[in-house]
Amino acid sequence: MSGAGKPEAYIIAARRTPVMPRGGVLSGYQADELVAPVLVQLLKDAGLRPDQVDQVILGNALYAGGNPARLAALRAHLPPSVPAMTIDTQCCSGLDAILHGARLINVGAADCVLAGGSESFSRSPIRMHRPKRPDDEPVPYQRPEFAPPPFGDPDLTEAAAMLAEECGIDRLAQTDFAVTSHRKALDAREWIQSRLVAIEQEHVDLDGFTRALNIRTALRAPVLSGPKETGLTAATIACEADGAAAVLIVSERLLKDCDVPALRVVGGRSGGGNPAEPALVPIDVARSLFNDLDLEAGDFDTVEVMEAYAVQAMVTADRLGLNAGQLNQLGGALARGHPIGASGAILAVNLHEQLAKCRESSGKATVYGLALIAAAGGLGSGLVVQTAC
C-alpha cells in the first residue's frame, strides 16, 4: 500500500466499545451513537484537536443506506466541515475503512483520518422489498443478494458447514477452538477492560458474551448447520452483536507532534475470490501480502483472524502455517460476538494493543502484526502493521 517516496501512514490510537450480544445492554443505541464516543476518545488519546481531522471513514453492513459516519462525526463534535463517508463491504467494512484511510495519507490527500466501523444488530432496519405493483404487499427478506447467477451465493453458515465437511474438521475440534478463544479472552480480560470505551449511562466495560466455557458443556449445543460429525453449533458460530471500533491514522508530518506509540501501516489489500467459498479469500489476500512485503507467516508476532466461524479461522491458520501462539491472543469473535461492520476494525484495535506489549516482552526492535477477515460475496481484506516508535 505504501512504498518508496510515498507518505507513510501511522496508527497512533485505537479504541473500541464493549461488544454485547444482540438485544443486550447496547440494544438501545444506533450505530452512530455507539461509535461517536470512540472517536472522541481517540483524539484525547493522541492529544489532537477535532479541527485537525481531515476525514472520517466508517464501515457498516446492516443499515441499508444513509451515512452513519456523518452522524457519528457530528455527534463526536467534529467541525461540520469535516467530511465523512460510510462504506459497506459487509464483514470487511471496518478493516476496509482503515485501509482506505491509510491510502488517503499514502497519496497525500490527508494528514489525519478517523477510520473504523460500527454495527447495531439490535437497531438495524427491518428489510423489505418494495412491491412491483400497487396492490402487492412488501416482501420481507433477511439479507440481500451478494452474488448474482451464475455465481453461488450460499448462506454464510451453510458455506462454513460445507467447508468443515470438505476439510474433515469435526465438531470436537471446532468446539475446542471456541473454548480456547473464550479462555484467551478471559485471561486478557483485565487488560482488555482498561482499553474499552464505555457507553454513557450503561456502565458496561466488559464484553458481554465471554464466559468460562468448557468442552463438555459446549458439545451439548445442537448442530445448526451441517452433518452431526462436522456440523456448526452456537458454540462455534460467533453471535450477532452490537459494538464499534476505530483507529486514528496520521501522516509522518503529524506524527512528529504526537508523543504516542505508533504502528506503521506496512501494507494492506482488499481482495476477491469465489463467492461460494468466502472463507478462503483471506488466505489468498495474506499470501499476496507476504509476497509483496517479502514476509512469511513466521515473521508475525501476532495475527488477528476473524472468527465468524471456528472452521473459517482454523482453515486460514492451517493453510497459512500460523501457530497457536500467534493467533488471536486476546480471544476472538467466538468469545465476544460479531458486530459485522465493526469486526474488522476490532482486529486492528487488537493489533495496536498487542504489538507495543509484544515489543517490550520480546526485546525486538520491530514486531509485525497481521489482520485478516472474510466477507459475503467472496471478499477478503488484510492489514500488515509494524511497531514504528
Length of the chain: 389
In sequence order, the 6+-apart residues with CB closer than 8 A to the CB of 281 are 271, 272, 273, 274, 374, 375, 378, 379, 380
* Helical packing angle, 68-75 and 31-46, nearest 10°: 50
How far is it, in rounded angstroms, from Cα 237 to Cα 325? Answer: 22
DSSP 258-303: --S--EEEEEEEEEE--TT-GGGHHHHHHHHHHHHHT--GGGEEEE
Marked catalytic residue, from 92, 100, 182, 338: 338
Amino acid at 179: V
Strand 300-305 vs strand 368-375: parallel, antiparallel, or unpaired? parallel
How far is it, in rounded angstroms, from Cα 10 to Cα 1? Answer: 12
Marked catalytic residue, from 91, 92, 239, 358: 91
**Residue among 118, 137, 121 nearest 129 (CA):** 137
How far is it, in rounded angstroms, from Cα 45 to Cα 15? Answer: 9
- The per-type count for the chain, helices as H runs and strands as E runs, is 12, 14
- Find out whether 379 and 353 touch, Cβ atoms under 8 Å: no
Catalytic status, residue 91:
yes
Handedness of CA 74, 80, 86, 92 (dihedral sign): negative
Residues annotated catalytic, as ranges: 91, 338
